[in-house]
């Protein structure tokens, strides 16, 4: 029985990593495609595509946004629903369910948020543009699809323990991003919409407590929750997280878990549809119009150094300290060099960094797209160095 459960857990982990690595490849293609379009004669068509108006009318309810905003507010809410489901499962029965398992990735994730933010602030605290400081959270993110994708390309050069460490770290990182968005990127609030959101959330909690396991019931109330949060001034993606934490994880008599079923169903669509589309509509930067002088501004420098230097210093430095103080142990079968290489990979911010940038700077042309280009440069530099370090390590995992 125990062996069967262990094999099931290992199978789920392999399936998760396979999907994430494949998604990482697709994200690269989507990014390259967006860059080609935005830097060619097709640029006007690309921009027109992003600004296609999409409206929904249901009685008095009127939602009107551009395609770009529907992707960032709508599709990304589904992405955050998946993140919320993963966080809840990991906290209750996964790799974050015990203090011993959670200490190292937890400490590393904190370092990976604090140090990059400090690096960014160091570049921008005296900026002439007061809006610049709003981007402090941009380099704190980790793109799990890209990072795990690179680890998977390395095969048995990287022990499974490090892959689990990176996966847990990225999940905690995402949880930190959720808290940051809720606390620091919320605009003026609508009392009526907030009230509707709280009522919807209360209904979802009651459904959970009474053992309701009908998927449609959660999605219908969840849709009301999303609309009310969208109209409230709080970012709509947080509705996905709130919905996720109300979905039952406990298995019924037949061994069926609604949370795991929804998580499994969503993983494919998020990995191969939602994230590539998000990358496509957000990564299109016309580099021909960006000069080296513009890239030497405080915002792009803060982002690049935050991702490439701050992330690796924060993750590895905090991990080293936790291990040396005997609060945690080096992941089984791994070396310090491998841990450092993995820490470098956390500097791949990409999708989450692009998303936070869209919240920090409402006008995406405020810094002439140098913020987006800086995210791409910092992320790819971290990916290349991390891959090189791990590929050339002498310690091969068994």
Rounded mean pLDDT for each run of 10 residues along the chain, 398 residues in total: 54 54 75 89 88 77 77 85 85 75 89 96 87 92 79 76 84 83 75 88 93 90 90 78 90 82 88 86 81 87 96 96 91 89 92 86 75 92 92 62
Which range of residues forms the domain containing residue 305?
A: 2-186+235-391
Residue 88 inside a domain? The answer is yes
C-alpha 74/C-alpha 71 separation (Å) is 5
Quote the pLDDT of residue 396: 46
Specify the pTM: 0.78
Domain total in the chain:
1
C-alpha 368/C-alpha 291 separation (Å) is 10
Quote the pLDDT of residue 395: 54
Residue 200 inside a domain? The answer is no
Residue 323 inside a domain? The answer is yes
Contact partners, residue 298, CB within 8 Å, separation at least 6: 123, 124, 127, 132
C-alpha 100/C-alpha 12 separation (Å) is 21
Residue 218 inside a domain? The answer is no
Quote the pLDDT of residue 397: 43
Residue 206 inside a domain? The answer is no
Residue 227 inside a domain? The answer is no
C-alpha 334/C-alpha 49 separation (Å) is 47
Residue 286 inside a domain? The answer is yes
Quote the pLDDT of residue 398: 39
Quote the pLDDT of residue 270: 85
Quote the pLDDT of residue 11: 57
The enclosing domain of 332 has a CATH number of 1.20.1530.10
Residue 260 inside a domain? The answer is yes
3-state secondary structure the chain: CHHHHHHHHHHHHHHHHHHHHHHHHHHHHHHHHHHHHHCCCCHHHHHHHHCCEEEEEECCEEEEEEHHHHHHHHHHHHHHHHHHHHHHHHHHHCCCCCHHHHHHHHHHHHHHHHHHHHHHHHHHCCCCCHHHHHHHHHHHCCCHHHHHHHHHHCHHHCCHHHHHHHHHHHHHHHHHHHHHHHHHCCCCCCHHHHHHHHHHHHHHHHHHHCCCCCHHHHHHHHHHHHHHHHHHCCCCHHHHHHHHCCCCCCCCCCCCCHHHHHHHHHHHHHHHHHHHHHHHHHCCCCHHHCCHHHHCCHHHHHHHHHHHHHHHHHHHHHHHHHHHCCCCCCCCCCCHHHHHHHHHHCCCCHHHHHHHHHHHCCCCCCCCCHHHHHHHHHHHHHHHHHHHHHHCCCCCCC
């Amino acid at each position: 029985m125990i062996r069967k459960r262990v094999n099931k857990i290992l199978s789920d982990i392999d399936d998760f990593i396979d999907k994430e690595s494949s998604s990482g490849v697709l994200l690269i293609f989507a990014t390259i495609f967006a860059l080609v379009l935005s830097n060619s004669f097709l640029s006007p068509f690309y921009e027109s595509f992003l600004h296609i108006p999409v409206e929904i009318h249901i009685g008095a309810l009127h939602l009107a946004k551009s395609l770009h905003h529907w992707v960032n507010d709508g599709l990304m809410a589904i992405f955050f629903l998946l993140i919320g489901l993963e966080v809840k499962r990991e906290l209750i029965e996964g790799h974050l369910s015990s203090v011993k398992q959670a200490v190292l990735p937890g400490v590393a994730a904190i370092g990976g948020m604090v140090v990059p933010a400090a690096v960014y602030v160091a570049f921008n605290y005296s900026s002439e543009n007061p809006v610049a400081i709003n981007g402090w959270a941009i380099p704190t993110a980790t793109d799990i699809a890209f990072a795990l994708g690179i680890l998977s390309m390395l095969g048995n050069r990287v022990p499974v323990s490090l892959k689990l460490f990176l996966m847990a770290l990225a999940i905690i990182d995402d949880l930190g991003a959720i808290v940051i968005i809720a606390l620091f990127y919320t605009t003026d609030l609508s009392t009526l919409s907030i009230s509707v959101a709280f009522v919807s959330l209360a209904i979802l909690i009651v459904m959970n407590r009474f053992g309701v396991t009908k998927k449609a019931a959660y999605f219908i109330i969840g849709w009301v929750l999303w609309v009310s949060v969208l109209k409230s001034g709080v970012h709509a993606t947080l509705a996905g997280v709130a919905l996720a934490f109300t979905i039952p994880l406990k298995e019924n008599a037949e061994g069926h878990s609604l949370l795991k079923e929804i998580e499994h169903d969503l993983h494919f669509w998020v990995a191969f549809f939602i994230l590539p589309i998000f990358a496509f509509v957000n990564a299109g930067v016309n580099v021909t119009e960006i000069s080296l002088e513009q890239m030497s501004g405080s915002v792009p420098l803060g982002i690049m150094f935050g991702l490439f230097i701050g992330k690796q210093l924060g993750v590895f430095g905090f991990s080293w300290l936790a291990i040396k103080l005997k609060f945690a142990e080096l992941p089984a079968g791994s070396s310090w060099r491998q841990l450092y290489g993995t820490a470098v990979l956390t500097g791949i911010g990409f999708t989450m960094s692009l998303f936070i940038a869209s919240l920090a700077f409402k006008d995406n042309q405020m810094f002439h797209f140098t913020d987006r280009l800086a995210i791409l440069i910092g992320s790819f530099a971290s990916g290349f160095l991390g891959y090189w370090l791990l590929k050339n390590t002498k310690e091969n995992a068994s």
